[in-house]
Structure 1
Amino acid sequence: MREPRTAAVLLAVSLLGMACASARSTAPEVPSPLVYKSEAVGAPQPEALLVALHFSGSSPAFWDEHVQSLGIPVRTLLPQGPRPRRDGFTWFQADHEAKTGEGKTEDVERMATRIAELIREVRAAHPEIRRVVVTGFSYGGDLAWMLALRHPELVDAAVPMGTRLLGDPARELPASLRVRVLQGEQDAIIPVQRTRERVAELKGRGVPIDVRTFPDLGHDVSPALLEDWRAFVRQSLQGPVD
């Protein structure tokens, strides 16, 4: 008479084990912390933080010479995309470009949230920081814009370059925030007319944003674009932008 009971217990244990295994297999993946470097340039304790986000297939080292060219004291925060791509790294999974606009926006929002945590971490370690500027190119530009859009309490100014300007404001952005979009007029990935229309739409909704475009430039940077980038970033790091 004990055999049926024993079998029932074994079956229950087996089913419980299968349920636990299933729960483990469907549990959401917890992303590992992002790799980044942060260092003081030009002074031991700069009061400004520049968060610079590389393009897909690049690395944080892309920004080194551009940071040096600013010629002002600044602390850098240079995160690295979590996934290898070509000779560098990228920010999103391989299916990112195949997604709808809504899906792309969700990807960028999630990654921007992870970068926002890094900004908080660096600011907690360096309470002397008074101003934060975020910048990036291509996917990095998408992220710089999303940080300004979703985490304006952390950002004083943003310079997204070659960006799709995904997402819409969920709340009123502070008047002190400034966003300058930089883009080539021959960009084959992001049509410049679409960017102009998008910026005009956002400005009409009260977003403090403008755009500068550059003739004969594609989805890339140029000396003229970088000159504009330096002027805006330098002024933004040193004080309010007029």
Structure 2
Amino acid sequence: MKCLNSVVFLLLSMLGAACASARPGTLVAGDARPLTYKTYTLGASEPEALLVALHYSGSTPEFWDEHVQALGTAVRVLAPRGFRPHREGFTWFPVEHEQKGWPEKTADVERVAGQLAELIQEVRRAHPEIRRVAVTGFSYGGDLAWMLAIRHPELVDVAVPMGSRLLGDPAQSLPKTGQVFVLQGEVDPIIKAQQTHTRVEALKAMGVPIDVRTYPGVGHDVSPQLLEDWRTFLRQALQGPRER
């Protein structure tokens, strides 16, 4: 999978106070490795918005550093790391994940999303100033962002899954004040754009507050225009009032 190279910028202070940490979380059932993550702030020492950024398979949390710094808004970033080493980074699921059927794939994603939900709760307890939560991710990270939105809507105000299968259906009605914005390439060989459009229309018919935007000539990847739309949407969502 070809993805844009990301550069880790060190001058976080250009956008405000920043700090970083990496901590182990509790174990996921059936996994021998703890969940680790880093968190830092941009634009303020105690921002009211939290952005949970989930990397793709074979990547690391550092993939997001460049992109979140370009948001230009006050935010706490929470960037977890996948459990297993894979290629030049880490992945979220067992090696046999891709050979599983849809129900088993969905169960894998639900399991990890549950662990991530616990981590979001932990961060919110430590930072009670947080009032809005957005989740985003690409590829496997997008699958997880979507699953967090539909299985833990009490924790998530906005989700931006990219290159995602959109596995599973909501277990309960999603709040109308929430929103899911799906982004993907039109020539994605892994996640077919037409399948995504069909899936989004079916979810809309179920009452899910969801929209999709696809990008000509873009495969299973991100592009400058996709990232610009991602920034614009998240910037507005993170700055807006929480209405729940």
TM-score category (smaller protein): 0.7 to 0.9
Aligned length: 214
In the other structure, the counterpart of 1:79 is 80
Q: 1:137 & 1:145 partners in 2: Cα distance?
A: 10
Q: 1:163 & 1:30 partners in 2: Cα distance?
A: 23
In the other structure, the counterpart of 1:175 is 176
In the other structure, the counterpart of 1:187 is 188
Residue segments in structure 2 that go unaligned for 5+ positions in a row? 1-28
In the other structure, the counterpart of 2:21 is none
- Cα distance per residue 1:187-206 (max 9 Å; x no partner): 00011000000000000010
DSSP-derived class of the 1:106 partner = helix
Q: 2:50 & 2:167 partners in 1: Cα distance?
A: 24
Q: 1:30 & 1:68 partners in 2: Cα distance?
A: 32
In the alignment, structure 1 residue 162 sits paired with structure 2 residue 160:
no
Residue segments in structure 1 that go unaligned for 5+ positions in a row? 1-27
Q: 2:128 & 2:32 partners in 1: Cα distance?
A: 27
Q: 1:32 & 1:151 partners in 2: Cα distance?
A: 23
Q: 1:142 & 1:111 partners in 2: Cα distance?
A: 10
Q: 1:72 & 1:29 partners in 2: Cα distance?
A: 38
Residue 173 of structure 1 and its aligned partner are, at CA, apart by 1.0
In the other structure, the counterpart of 2:215 is 214
More helix as a share of residues: 1
Q: 1:165 & 1:135 partners in 2: Cα distance?
A: 13
Share of identical aligned residues, percent?
Answer: 68
DSSP-derived class of the 1:153 partner = coil
DSSP-derived class of the 1:84 partner = strand
DSSP-derived class of the 2:154 partner = helix
Q: 1:179 & 1:129 partners in 2: Cα distance?
A: 20
In the other structure, the counterpart of 1:22 is none
DSSP-derived class of the 1:188 partner = coil
In the other structure, the counterpart of 1:153 is 154
Q: TM-score, normalised by structure 2?
A: 0.86
Q: 1:93 & 1:220 partners in 2: Cα distance?
A: 22
Q: 2:239 & 2:136 partners in 1: Cα distance?
A: 15
In the other structure, the counterpart of 2:42 is 41
Residue 240 of structure 1 and its aligned partner are, at CA, apart by 5.2
In the other structure, the counterpart of 1:97 is 98
In the alignment, structure 1 residue 108 sits paired with structure 2 residue 112:
no
Give the number of the structure whose alpha-carbon radius of gyration is greater. Answer: 1
- Cα distance per residue 1:32-73 (max 9 Å; x no partner): 431000111111101100000000000000000001000111
CA RMSD of aligned residues (A): 1.2
In the other structure, the counterpart of 1:132 is 133
